Amino acid sequence: MRVLLVCDRSAGHIFPALSIANYLPKKEVYLFIPSLFFKKYIKKKGFKVLGKSLPFRNLILEGFYRFWEAVYLLLKVRPQRIIGFGGRDTFFLLLLGAFFFLDTSLYEPNICLGKTNKVLSLVVKQVYCGFDSLNVHFKKPKWVGIPLREGLRKIKKEEARRELGLSLRKPVVLVLGGSRGSSFLNDIVRRLFSILKVDIQIIHLTGEEDYSYILKFYSKIKKKCFVKSFYERMDVLYSASDFLISRAGALSLAEIVYYHLPVILIPHCKAGNHQINNAIYFEKRGAACVIFQSDSAVIQLKRAVEVFLRDRELRKKIRNNLKKINLGVSSYDFYRNIFG
């Protein structure tokens, strides 16, 4: 059976698709990925990768191109099943697939449907969800969880810190801005560590765009740091950390739940508000501290970090509440939940 897995540009769209692709015969699976960065990575794994990375983000021009691209790819691949993973680049392949009566479905990892998935949910046969409380009009979604990346494991803290060159005697904060990084988060954290007097160690994944700028900043402050634009051994970073400062993407949240790590969430204020809704879901369950993106966010973040550092009972309470949330599943279970 020829399967077409349709993604947008971010890791949040691509990694769930890859979790499925790894368990399908490579000669029968096609991945639509309009990201140059991830396309190179996935081609190395031997998969057939389709989709052009456009040098512009213009809704009208993109829509015109993606429509005819979808027509061409459907005629070329002739898939028997299509699964979309969100984002506007997936729209026409799913819409036309449904129009041609192909077996179409979509996956929504967030607590609420994104704009594209909200429209497509009206025409696809099945909606799969990462959160068990996703609300979909006219359809009952099937819970499949959020796939945890392959190789994710819990490591002893001393072992993880030794690998990163960090001390066991001082606390460690992990800063995550998502797969492509977050300029806002990078800047607010830079401002935070400029004024924070506490002796703390920092692990910071910056993304490609701000890496040099942030690395230069850390070279000027008297704090032990581990700074990378991207790092594959996330199990080491999580295991070495005491708490996180993070965006609120679904895949990151599933991994935070897996490690039961106290977290300060600063959700992206756009992206269809799904990160805000994800963060509110965690806050209501006492599983995170949430700070919304604003001019005063750095002052709020400083207070939150200071509270996290001195209040062990609060961190313990958040860990216990994280244990009550059901999100992450193994990539094999994710595949079985969909292809069962």
Which DSSP helix (H) or strand (E) runs through 92?
helix 91-99
How many other C-beta atoms can be found within 10 angstroms of the C-beta atom of residue 298? 18
Q: What is the mean pLDDT of residues 104-129?
A: 95
Rounded CA-CA distance 152/235 in Å is 5
pLDDT at 55: 85
Amino acid at 223: K
Comparing 175 with 197, the larger pLDDT belongs to: 175
Structure confidence by residue, pLDDT tens digits, 226-242: 999 989 899 999 999 99
Q: What is the mean pLDDT of residues 268-294?
A: 91
Structure confidence by residue, pLDDT tens digits, 117-161: 999 999 999 999 999 888 777 788 999 999 998 889 999 999 999
pLDDT at 10: 83
Rounded CA-CA distance 337/105 in Å is 13
Amino acid at 56: F
Q: Which domains does the chain have, with CATH numbers?
A: 3-144 (3.40.50.2000), 157-328 (3.40.50.2000)
Identify the residue whose tokens are 């699976």.
29
Reported confidence tier of residue 272, pLDDT bands at 50, 70, 90: low
Percent of the chain surpassing pLDDT 70: 99
Q: What is the mean pLDDT of residues 108-114?
A: 93
**DSSP code per residue over 145-185:** -EEPPTT-----HHHHHHHHT--SSS-EEEEE--TT--HHH
Q: What is the mean pLDDT of residues 61-71?
A: 95
Structure confidence by residue, pLDDT tens digits, 197-215: 899 999 999 988 899 999 9
pLDDT at 48: 95
pLDDT at 312: 94
Reported confidence tier of residue 258, pLDDT bands at 50, 70, 90: very high
| 295 in Cβ contact with 188 (< 8 Å) | no
